[in-house]
Structures are given as C-alpha cells and as structure tokens.
Amino acid sequence: MEHLRLATRPDPRPGPGQVLLRMKAASLNYRDLVVPMRAYGSHTGTLPLIPISDGVGEVVEAGAGVTRAKPGDRVCPLFAQAWISGEPTPERLSRSLGGPVDGTMAEYMVLPEAGVSKVPAHLSDEQAASLPCAALTAWSAIVTHDNLGPGSRVLVQGTGGVALFALQFAKLRGAQVTVISSSDEKIARAKTLGADAAINYRTTPEWYKATREVTAGRGYDHILELGGEKTLPQSLRCIRPGGTLSMIGVLSGGMLSAPLGLVVTRQVRLQGITVGNRDGFEAMLRAIDQHRLQPVTDKVFQFEQLKEAMAHLKNGAHFGKVCIRH
C-alpha cells in the first residue's frame, strides 16, 4: 500500500469507438491487495498504473461510431477488456483492469465501447461497482461451467465478495447451500441471505466431517474453492463422486499437498475459473435485474480513503464487498 499515490493526470478524451466515463464508485477484490506489491506476475503491468479492477461510471461522451452506449448510461467496465465470448486465450486474458491496464480509481476513464455493459437500474452505484470480478467469478462457476439446478448441494467458503455472490446465485438456482466461515456472527448473517447450513471452520477445523450430516453422506455437487492450500484437501473429502470443484482462490496458500487419488476414484472435475467473459457478464446482469438481486455491501469509503479501504479488506472483518465512492 505504501506504493500508492494520489496523482493528477490530464482528462482523457474518447476516440472513435470509445466512451468517456465519469466514474461513480469502485469496489475492492483480494487481487487489488496483491497488484501494488508487484506480486501478480505479468498482470502487474508497467508503472505508473491506476489500481482497482472494478467500478461503475456514467457515460459522459461517446466517440464517433459508438452504438453500444450513449451519454447518461450507467455502465460497468468489463474486468477482462478483451474477452467478449468463448474460451480464454492469452490475448483475451491480457487486458484486465487494475493491472496490467489502468483501473477504476480515477475520476474519468476512456474505454472501448465493447468493454462496457449497462447495469440494472435497481442497484446502487456501490452494488453495481461490485459486479465485474467477484460476481462474474461466482456466476461463471455456478452457471457457465456447471449449470446447477434445484436441489443441488453447494459448499461456499467464507463470506467475502466471491463467496456471498456464490451463495446468492446458488440460491437463485434452487440449490441447498452450506457456508463455512470463521465467525458465528457472519454465519448468522449468511443464513439471512439464504444459507441452509453453516459450519465455523475456526471452532470445527475438520469441517469436512461435519458436512457428512448436512449432505446425509452424499457429498456436495459443487464446491467453490476459495481457500486453496488448507481447504482443498478437505473439499476432496466431501465432494460427491462426479462433482465439480471450482478452483477460484488461494486465500490460505497456493501450494498443494492433497489426496489426489480422490480426484480419480470419485471422478471429480477440477474446474479452474478466471473471472469470465462479456457474454457471461451480461447473462448475469439479466439475472440480477430479473430477480432484483441485492449485492451485499460491507462498507463504503471515500475516494481519498483507498488505503484505509484496502487495510479494511486485508483485515478480513468484512462481510461482502468493500466499496469506494468517487
């Protein structure tokens, strides 16, 4: 965080096929803590870099030939600016915001019209700003790569940004959802969002054993793996044969010592997820609009308080999304 500086740049102007956004809000992801430490590989980009991948803005000017957006529209920039449809490729993954491409912590942004999507009217600016990375990642896991249906059993790890969107989307699909969390207070709040069962992984470190009762010994159809090193070995013990483990995060470490035989004998599908494309994002926006889904905002900071907001995220006391108002 000591590498972050408030700075002034000339106002950007949109060229042909581009839109100028006046940014209204941003939201933080775990990744935003890693990029300023220069610890995110090639995604760190060249300096100086405007941080933070997620946000929402109002179109204030459209360049020549723009048809996807007009002045007055409220839009989210896509997390992966070059990934519109289909499978990921190196080129499609090469232009993520907040590293290597300039991100959303700016008063104005210029983006290609293909790189923005209109957001549902019922969302506050902070809720809309929460969608590009965390929400799409959860949607890609649950809908794009699995198409979970009613009665499916799903396990979600923690109560951070990705986890609560996963809980909300899984409930939209009619799933039975178990949440694991370090806090009984957060567990109580997750239940008000629809969690059917919850286990405190601090007081029950071998939480996979406690899931046997929850799933009547059948195991989960889908587990969203956010912990990585410390959680994957347990997830492999409570996934059902033929189930899917969405490999999303490495909050507890990124190196692996796990009973890999279970992947084979249970025919488990290990599905890596890297956010998602614009087709998925816009399908998700339609579902959020249709169901008037309310993303969970933990706390809103002012633009000048970015470092305080990042410290709040790092501290892990949050429930849902940490946001910035521009």
Ligand X SMILES: NC(=O)c1ccc[n+]([C@@H]2O[C@H](COP(=O)([O-])OP(=O)(O)OC[C@H]3O[C@@H](n4cnc5c(N)ncnc54)[C@H](OP(=O)(O)O)[C@@H]3O)[C@@H](O)[C@H]2O)c1
The answer to whether 248 contacts ligand X (rule: CB under 6 A) is yes
The answer to whether 30 contacts ligand X (rule: CB under 6 A) is yes
Site for ligand X in 264-293 (CB under 6 A): 273-275
Site for ligand X in 299-318 (CB under 6 A): 313, 316
Q: How far is the CB of 107 from ligand X (least distance, A)?
A: 24
The answer to whether 123 contacts ligand X (rule: CB under 6 A) is no
Site for ligand X in 38-97 (CB under 6 A): none
**Which residue in 42, 182, 265, 290 binds ligand X (CB under 6 A)?**
182
Residue nearest to ligand X (CB): 160
Residue 108 or 281: which CB sits closer to ligand X?
A: 281
The answer to whether 134 contacts ligand X (rule: CB under 6 A) is yes
Q: Is 7 exposed, middle or buried (0-12, 13-18, 19+ CB in 10 A)?
A: exposed
The answer to whether 240 contacts ligand X (rule: CB under 6 A) is no
**Which residue in 55, 115, 120, 158 binds ligand X (CB under 6 A)?**
158
Number of residues that bind ligand X (CB under 6 A): 33
Contact 40, 141 (CB under 8 A): no
CA distance 194 to 303: 32
Site for ligand X in 135-154 (CB under 6 A): 137
Q: How far is the CB of 98 from ligand X (least distance, A)?
A: 12
Q: What are phi and psi of 117, to 5 degrees?
A: -135, 140
- The structure tokens listed for 79 are 């997390």
Q: How far is the CB of 85 from ligand X (least distance, A)?
A: 17
Q: Determine the interface stretch with ligand X among 10-18, 44-52, 124-132, 175-183 (rule: CB under 6 A).
A: 175-183
Q: How far is the CB of 277 from ligand X (least distance, A)?
A: 12
> Kind of pairing, strands 116-118 and 197-200?
unpaired
**Which residue in 66, 129, 133, 268 binds ligand X (CB under 6 A)?**
133
Contact 142, 316 (CB under 8 A): no
**Which residue in 44, 94, 144, 183 binds ligand X (CB under 6 A)?**
183
Residue 137 or 168: which CB sits closer to ligand X?
A: 137
How many C-alpha atoms does 185 have within 13 Å on its Cβ side? 3
How many C-alpha atoms does 224 have within 13 Å on its Cβ side? 35
Q: Is 315 exposed, middle or buried (0-12, 13-18, 19+ CB in 10 A)?
A: exposed
Q: Determine the interface stretch with ligand X among 58-66, 88-96, 101-109, 160-168 (rule: CB under 6 A).
A: 160-168
C-alpha dihedral (195, 53, 127, 304), degrees to nearest 10: 120
For ligand X, the binding residues (CB under 6 A) are 29-31, 133-134, 137, 157-163, 180-183, 186, 201, 226-227, 230-231, 248-252, 273-275, 313, 316
